[in-house]
Chain A
């Protein structure tokens, strides 16, 4: 009712008078939101840490390996010494490229890293001098938080997230002669240390500004023959290919749940609406138009959807926090609680379900008549 003296139909009486039905509807809809969020978060838990670990450090640096040919040598150590000299020559050439701020020679080891589901390996930067270790640390903004910096061959410094992630197994892919002497704090999953003399996988770290320029191509353009370039673009592309396949799984689960929910909802809603035929006929008889009745039913439904979104969001946040504490924190990975990608999907599916709910509503509104037809 309003103060102008015209009777109006409110959605609230039905909501207040049918709490069990409304509760069941709101819970089923909010469970969809919670489920969607849960799927999105779990899948993100699988891939996002890899994305952070594999591509984020390469925004302002790239890894490459110049192709050097050493024809005459007698021992591996001799080859290594000669090859190092050649690589350093290439590094000097690379440093001449405008924008490039420096290079560091490193020998590559691999450290283990796991996500909530799945595992990968990351480069461990093995340097020839402790000064190089310090240079890399400073460049990546890493700070020593426990232990000490590597000083002798075989000594490794790992980021505390990585240490938490794999514990003692972090160096499992490397020689037994490597051991951790300290932990640092940084925004990245970092591992670096002093190379053993047996390491022959010689590579270069090339420092450059995060300005979006293709420094890998610039290096190739100089004519220096290189085996590979590992930069942000190539790493990000690789990770996104894997994420993309998981994203399809996420969408499939969300859509399947949405379709099942829509079917259940349509059946339940049809039964509810059939129950209300006489009620709506009465309303029509005492002067309310079909449009007014339809609008009331729409508002009832809208209230349920809004409630479901609100409740679903609250439970999703709780679910996210629980996942973070139980799944992510123990292995030192971090996944954003806010899942931006699921918002359009959840809203899309909810809107589609709301749209589908119009079918039984519309069909039954068309059947509304005055009570004489029932009598």
Chain B
């Protein structure tokens, strides 16, 4: 589905000391499955997500999505891709403060409102929100609950690729595993790219990419996944 060819992303291009967020990364991601990108803070894993999801442009190299180059496409094409093909769980949730949990989840839904609301309620309940929390605004929800709302929003349109940046960062272990189970289930039919620095939640990925200082230091594919 995704293919990165010598993908390089440099911050502070104008300065003498350039910062490489991605350095000549070449790799290929499967069409479906759970892919974990792991690395310490500042290693470039989030930048990798942003470039793959068309939010950021590469400095050099290219990224192919379903065989099509998406590095230099028009802004409108990027928006269409993000809206129709991708789902996002951001590190800082980015919930709309005046909307309820359900309303936040249906923000970008592409089905009729009634259907979207029913779907949002189901997803939110599935990932651990209680019924009485569905109509609360983000300020009335805990960090974990907000994270779940963000996850529900990302799943609303059944995107082909779901990017999750530290999806379990604000969850306790029990809920973190619950969310990961849900993402794993989702990854049966889609591609889920999880960015994290927590090894423990990436135990059953189909592919783990270790990033260090802007470079891919290792790509691990479990035997079971290879056989599959």
Q: Which residues of A contact B (CB under 8 A)?
A: 1-3, 5-7, 13-14, 17-18, 278-279, 281-289, 370-372, 374-375
9 sample A-B contacts, Cβ–Cβ < 8 Å, listed by A number:
A1-B113, A1-B116, A13-B96, A17-B137, A278-B94, A287-B79, A287-B80, A371-B94, A375-B92
B46 touching A375, Cβ below 8 Å: yes
Which B residues are in CB contact (< 8 Å) with A285? Answer: 55, 82, 88, 90, 94
A17 touching B99, Cβ below 8 Å: yes
| 8 Å CB contact of B55 from A13, A283, A289, A370 | A370
A286-B88, A286-B108 given; 12 more Cβ-contact pairs under 8 Å: A1-B112, A2-B112, A7-B107, A7-B110, A13-B98, A17-B103, A281-B94, A282-B94, A289-B75, A370-B56, A372-B55, A375-B90
Which A residues are in CB contact (< 8 Å) with B113? Answer: 1
A372 touching B82, Cβ below 8 Å: no
B82 touching A279, Cβ below 8 Å: no
CB distance from A13 to the nearest CB of B (A): 6
Which B residues are in CB contact (< 8 Å) with A287? Answer: 79-84, 86, 108
CB distance from A366 to the nearest CB of B (A): 13
Instruction: Decide: A282 near B96, CB < 8 A? Known: A287-B83, A375-B90.
Output: yes
| 8 Å CB contact of A6 from B46, B110, B153 | B110
For residue B152, CB closer than 8 A to chain A, the reply is no
In chain A, what residue has the closest Cβ to B76?
A289
Which A residues are in CB contact (< 8 Å) with B56? Answer: 370, 372
B91 touching A288, Cβ below 8 Å: no
In chain B, what residue has the closest Cβ to A16?
B98
Which A residues are in CB contact (< 8 Å) with B157? Answer: 7
CB distance from A277 to the nearest CB of B (A): 11
Which A residues are in CB contact (< 8 Å) with B81? Answer: 287
In chain A, what residue has the closest Cβ to B115?
A1
Complex CA distance for A104 and B192, rounded to whole angstroms:
101
Complex CA distance for A285 and B91, rounded to whole angstroms:
13
Complex CA distance for A29 and B80, rounded to whole angstroms:
38
B110 touching A5, Cβ below 8 Å: yes
Which of B99, B108, B113, B137 has the most chain A CB atoms closer than 10 A to its own CB? B108
CB distance from B42 to the nearest CB of A (A): 12
**Residues B65-100 near A (CB distance < 8 A):** 75-76, 79-84, 86, 88, 90-92, 94, 96-99
B55 touching A1, Cβ below 8 Å: no
For residue B109, CB closer than 8 A to chain A, the reply is yes
Residues 7-26 of chain B, each 1 if its beta carbon lies under 8 Å from chain A, else 0 = 00000000000000000000
Which of B47, B55, B86 has the most chain A CB atoms closer than 10 A to its own CB? B55
Which B residues are in CB contact (< 8 Å) with A18? Answer: 98
B98 touching A17, Cβ below 8 Å: yes
In chain A, what residue has the closest Cβ to B95?
A282
A286 touching B50, Cβ below 8 Å: no
Which A residues are in CB contact (< 8 Å) with B98? Answer: 13-14, 17-18
B79 touching A371, Cβ below 8 Å: no
CB distance from B91 to the nearest CB of A (A): 7
B88 touching A279, Cβ below 8 Å: no
Complex CA distance for A284 and B109, rounded to whole angstroms:
14
CB distance from B75 to the nearest CB of A (A): 7
Complex CA distance for A18 and B157, rounded to whole angstroms:
27
B83 touching A7, Cβ below 8 Å: yes
B79 touching A288, Cβ below 8 Å: yes
Complex CA distance for A283 and B88, rounded to whole angstroms:
11
A286 touching B116, Cβ below 8 Å: no
For residue B219, CB closer than 8 A to chain A, the reply is no
CB distance from B159 to the nearest CB of A (A): 10
Complex CA distance for A204 and B137, rounded to whole angstroms:
82
In chain B, what residue has the closest Cβ to A275?
B97
Complex CA distance for A89 and B79, rounded to whole angstroms:
93
Complex CA distance for A18 and B103, rounded to whole angstroms:
14
Complex CA distance for A201 and B94, rounded to whole angstroms:
87
Which B residues are in CB contact (< 8 Å) with A17? Answer: 96, 98-99, 103, 137
B111 touching A5, Cβ below 8 Å: yes
| 8 Å CB contact of B50 from A2, A3, A370 | A370
A289 touching B96, Cβ below 8 Å: no
A375 touching B91, Cβ below 8 Å: yes
CB distance from A51 to the nearest CB of B (A): 52
Which A residues are in CB contact (< 8 Å) with B96? Answer: 13, 17, 279, 282
Complex CA distance for A372 and B91, rounded to whole angstroms:
10
| Smallest CB-CB A-B distances: 9 pairs | A287-B83, A17-B98, A287-B82, A370-B55, A282-B94, A372-B50, A7-B110, A7-B108, A286-B108
Which A residues are in CB contact (< 8 Å) with B103? Answer: 13, 17
Complex CA distance for A18 and B97, rounded to whole angstroms:
10
CB distance from A100 to the nearest CB of B (A): 75
Complex CA distance for A13 and B100, rounded to whole angstroms:
10
Which B residues are in CB contact (< 8 Å) with A2? Answer: 112
For residue B101, CB closer than 8 A to chain A, the reply is no
For residue B4, CB closer than 8 A to chain A, the reply is no
